Structure 1
Amino acid sequence: MLRGPKVEEKYPVPLTTHQLWIVSLCAPVNRGSEASRTTLYPFKRIDDKRARRWLTENWEISSQDDVLDSLNGLAERGYRAQIAERFGLSPLAWDVALYVDVVRNAFAAGHLDEGEAWQLLWNVVRPTAAAYGSWKEYADDYLLGRIVWMGMLRGTPDEDFPAPQAVSDKHIRTLLEAPDSPWVMVPWQAIGEQDRHRA
């Protein structure tokens, strides 16, 4: 199988602390070893076709208009609206993680340029930073959203789609504890401090 160049070859400039913080909002979604958690581009190797396929299969997105419609839906109501109606809970982190994931894949797919992607990503910073006080709080709310979402899939054709909860739980623990985790590299409070370049 042919593989594209490493993402750092195409995008060699490291993200700033604020940029890494923002990209890290979707780290819970990206469990695979091929996922990049420290670049705007979502994969460790350049694979624009993969991003386009992922958007089409998972979100029915094939244009910039589709991207913006999906992002507006996640920002305004998202899955948290359905969850709130049924269970009285509103896990913002679940929708934010999905939102950031869609933006990154839309950038890779060519539906957004880099400036457009960052502008859209900044839209979720203020409400997210205001809602949580740590990566642990964000992670707990993300897991809550995931558990409820999985429960909503029971009895549907997509029931077996998600990875088991134990896999997600382990991934979250790694994000909270591993030295090479973006959540460890850039603490939660960094988004409220002066932005800086990283080596």
Structure 2
Amino acid sequence: MKRSLTALLLLFALLLTGCSNGTGTDSKTEAPAEVTITKETLSDTLRWFNAAYAIITTRNGGDINLIGGYGTKNLLEVQMIKSGLKESWEVTDKTTADDTLNWLLEEGGHNAELLEEYKENSLSEYTREELIEVLSVSSYTDNDRAYYLGLYDAVANYSDNAILAWDLSRAMQLSAWYYLAGYYTYEEAMDKSLAIAKSLQKAYGSWDEMADSYLYGYQYWSGDDMSDETSESFARYQIYQELVKQTDSPYSIDWNYELQKDWP
């Protein structure tokens, strides 16, 4: 199964032109039961949730003050989200939604794959300087060097949680999207998000650490070079830096905020 996030803006364009792999827009799509959440009524716990996946929400042109980055009244947005889940995650119902979260949360997701690759390549036997020397031969491309150094640095900095934030951040976004798509109830989605958020707090000590691990994960998955200013990894790094600097930054809420269930 391909475990990635298709750019929502592209999906939006495809849906408008009726070219989303021939599926078109389903006129029978119904929005899930509405839970009215605005920027003014967004609780601190929900604000924390949204901050955990604010990078991808911003990259996709969503609103970091809305659950999942989108409202639930717009049927076209609901169809867009359902199409994105199907195309990028092969999620089409509650069963496949549960299976995908299980892969991310219980089976280790991409974090487990990276740790296995780190082990297979015996990267623990090198210092960083030695690894750079090994990778300096002409048979390695710049992206190869970035890839293996990314693996090395992720484990060096975060040990077994190397790119866990990449998996958990997406799991939180997926939980919200499952609600928007109608696969989860609002309570189910938020309960799942609460458990994931608490796992993130245990794994990392700050928003910066979480974002760092997330970006290592994106670079690992995409195979590009975060130091390349034309890369998607660099674009996401820039988004994080810009979000941090905002007056109303989503990361202004304390990383160690005591998350609590404040929904029905």
TM-score, normalised with respect to structure 1: 0.80
Does the aligned pair in 2 maintain the 1:24–1:182 contact within 8 Å? yes
Which consecutive segments of 4 or more residues in structure 1 shift more than 3 A? Answer: none
1:44 positional shift: 5.4
Partner of 1:181: 249
Q: 1:21 to 1:83 in 2, by over 3 A?
A: same
Q: Percent identity between the aligned chains?
A: 24
Q: How many residues align?
A: 180
Task: Provide, for residues 102-155 of structure 1, a one-character-per-residue CA deviation record: whole Å limited to 9, x for no partner.
Answer: 11111111111101111111221222101111111111111111111122x89x
Gaps of 5+ in 1: 2-8, 155-162
Segment drifting more, 22-31 vs 102-111: 22-31
Does residue 108 of structure 2 align to residue 80 of structure 1? no
Partner of 1:34: 61
Partner of 2:191: 119
Q: Could you tell me how far apart the structure 1 residues matched to 2:78 and 2:233 are?
A: 29
Counterpart AA for 2:78: D
1:10 positional shift: 6.2
Q: Could you tell me how far apart the structure 2 residues matched to 1:111 and 1:36 are?
A: 21
TM-score, normalised with respect to structure 2: 0.61
Gaps of 5+ in 2: 1-15, 17-33, 120-154, 156-161, 226-230
Q: Could you tell me how far apart the structure 1 residues matched to 2:208 and 2:244 are?
A: 7
Q: Could you tell me how far apart the structure 1 residues matched to 2:217 and 2:110 are?
A: 8
1:33 positional shift: 6.0
Does the aligned pair in 1 maintain the 2:110–2:167 contact within 8 Å? yes
Segment drifting more, 49-58 vs 37-46: 37-46
Q: Looking at both structures, which has the greater relative contact order when contacts are Cα pairs under 8 Å and sequence separation is at least 6? A: 1
Segment drifting more, 171-180 vs 49-58: 171-180
1:181 positional shift: 2.4
